[in-house]
Amino acid sequence: MSEQSVTDFRNRARAWLAENAPRRAAADDESGGPARADIAAQKAFQARLYDAGFAGLTWPTEYGGQGLTNAEQIAFGQEARDYALPVGAFFIGLGMPGPTILELGTEEQKRRYLPQMLRGEEIWCQLFSEPAAGSDVASLTTSAVRDGDGWVLNGQKVWTSGAQYSDYGAVLARTDPTVPKHNGITMFVVDMHAPGVTVRPLKVATGATPFNEVFFDQVRLPADAVIGEVNDGWRAAVVMLRNERVNIGTMGAPRTSPLSYHSLSSLAAKHGTADAGVGRKLAELYVRERSVSLFGQLLREEAMSGRDPGARGSVAKLAGAELGTFASLVAEQVLGPAVAASDSEEVWEVLNTALSMPGSSIAGGTNEIQRNIIGERVLGLPKDPGVDRSTPFNQLRVGTMRKD
C-alpha cells in the first residue's frame, strides 16, 4: 500500500466527514448506550458510511468490505476523532462478532451476516458473561443440547450491551459438561427475536441502565448456527476477546471527558481549591494521560510497521482503566466538599463519570485478568497451575456455589 494512496484516502475521509458527520460535543463522551429511539438514525448513518466506502475498511470486498489495510483504518480513526459518529450500536458487532465470523465462520455465514452488518441493516451483540462466569468465563453454564438437527438453548447471560436493540447475538454455551471446561463450549449465532429470548435492562451504580440481562428459555438453534466447530467454542471466544481488547485499548480518552486534565484543571482554576496538593496531582494526571495516549500511538505505529502488538493491547487496556481510577481521585481532591453534596450540574457530571470508572476496570477483562495476561504473555511468567483445566466441568464448583 503506497503512502500516496493512504494520503488520498485520508483526504477523501476528511472531506466526507466534514460534509456528513456531526462534531463531538462534551456531553457525548460519557453517555451510555444509544437509546432505542436513536436506532433508526444510526442505521441510516451506517448505511451512508457504507455507501461512501468507509465501512469495513479492512474486510474483504466479497463480504461488503473495502479490502484496505490497517493504514487506512488508522487514518480514518484519526480523521474521525473529533466527530461523534452516530454508529455506537454497531461498535460491538463490527468489532467482535464480525471479525470472529470473518476468521472462523463458514462461507454461508460470512455471506449471510457480514454485508448486512456493514450496511447497518442488522445489529449484533455478544453474549459471554454470566452471573457465575465473569473473569472465568469458561465456567459458563448456559447449555445447548442437541435436538434433531439443531440445538435447544437454556440459561442466563449478563452485562450484554445493546441486547435490547440487537437482531443477532454471538452466544457461548456448554455443549459437553463431562469434559474439562474449556473443551465443552460451542459458539452459536442466536436470533435475538426468537421465541424464548427475554431481555431485561440492568441498572448499574450510577443509576443508568447501559447493559442487559438476557434469558434463554428453550430457544431453538438451527444446525448452521454453530460458529467454528462444536466444542471448540473457547478458541472462537479467545479470538473474539482479543478483538475486544484491541477495540477498547485503542479508543483513548477524549480531551472533553469530565475527568481529563484539561477539564479538571479548568474546574480547579474556576472554583479555586483549598487543597494545596491539588496542583501537583493535576500535573501527575497530565503525565499519566499523556503517556497513556503516547503508548497508544506507539502501538498503532508498531502495528502499521507490521509488528504484532501481541498481548500488549492488555497494557493499553490496564493503563487506561488505571488512569480513570487515578483521575477520579484527583477529581475528588479538586471538588473538595462538593463531592458530598452539590446542586451544580458540572459537579454531577464529574461525579457520575467517576462513579462509572469501575466499569472500565471490570469490562472487557478485569484489571486482575489483564495483569495475568501481561505477566504471562508479555513477560513470559508461568501460568497458575489450576485444577480447573483438567477436571471434567460437571465436577467443578463455579461462581459462589457452595462446597457441600
Partner 1 sequence: MALILTQDEEEFRDSVRRVVAERSPLSKLRELMSSGQPYDADVWKQLSALGLPSLVIPAEHGGAEAGYSVLSVALGELGAGLVASPLLAVTLAAGTLIKLGDQDAQSRLLPGIASGELIATLAAGGTGTARADGGTLTGELSPVLNAEQASVLLVPAADGDGVALFEVDAAAPGVEITPLPALDHSRSLARVRLNGAPGRRLSGDAAAAVDFAQDLANLALASEQVGAMAACLLMTAEYAKIRVAFGRPIGSFQGVKHRLAELWTTWELARAALRDAARAADERPDAFARAASVARIAVSASYVDAAVATVQLHGGIGFTWEHDAHLYQKNAMSQHALFGGEGEQLDRLTALLTARG
Residue 2 CB, nearest approach to partner 1 (Å): 18
Q: Is 244 a catalytic site residue?
A: yes
- Using CB under 8 A as the criterion, what x/- string covers residues 309-348 for binding partner 1? ---x--x--xx--x--------------------------
> What are 168's strand-pairing partners?
124, 191
Residue 380 CB, nearest approach to partner 1 (Å): 7
**Distances 167 to 12, 59, 124, 190, 403 between C-alpha atoms, Å:** 32, 21, 6, 9, 39
Closest CA to 362 of 95, 129, 157: 129
Q: Confirm or reject binding of residue 384 to partner 1 (CB under 8 A).
A: yes
Q: How far, in Å, CA of 380 to CA of 293, rounded?
A: 25
Residue 314 CB, nearest approach to partner 1 (Å): 9
- # chain residues binding partner 1, by CB under 8 A: 39
* Cβ count near 345 (within 10 Å): 7
Q: How far, in Å, CA of 124 to CA of 130, rounded?
A: 18
> What are 227's strand-pairing partners?
187
SS3 153: strand
Closest CB to partner 1 among residues 157, 317: 317
Binding residue for partner 1, selected from 37, 193, 380, 387, defined by CB under 8 A = 380
Residue 394 CB, nearest approach to partner 1 (Å): 27
Binding residue for partner 1, selected from 37, 382, 400, 403, defined by CB under 8 A = 382
Residue 265 CB, nearest approach to partner 1 (Å): 8
Pull the grid cell for residue 284.
Answer: 501527575
Question: What ranges in 22-171 are assigned the alpha helix state H?
Answer: 39-51, 70-80, 91-95, 97-104, 107-118
Closest CB to partner 1 among residues 192, 331: 331
Task: Check 72, 79, 122, 244 and give the catalytic one.
Answer: 244
- Hey, which residues between 273 and 302 contact partner 1 (CB under 8 A)? 279-280, 282-284, 286-288, 290-292, 294-295, 297-298, 301-302
Residue 107 CB, nearest approach to partner 1 (Å): 38
> What are 122's strand-pairing partners?
none
Closest CB to partner 1 among residues 201, 310: 310
- Hey, which residues between 161 and 200 contact partner 1 (CB under 8 A)? none
Q: For residue 193, what is the DSSP state?
A: T
Amino acid at site 221: L
Closest CB to partner 1 among residues 101, 303: 303
- Hey, which residues between 253 and 272 contact partner 1 (CB under 8 A)? 265
**Distances 269 to 109, 259, 272, 273, 332 between C-alpha atoms, Å:** 56, 15, 5, 8, 15
Q: How far, in Å, CA of 101 to CA of 114, rounded?
A: 8
Footprint of partner 1 (CB under 8 A) = 265, 279-280, 282-284, 286-288, 290-292, 294-295, 297-298, 301-302, 305, 312, 315, 318-319, 322, 368, 370-372, 374-376, 378-385
Active site residues: 244
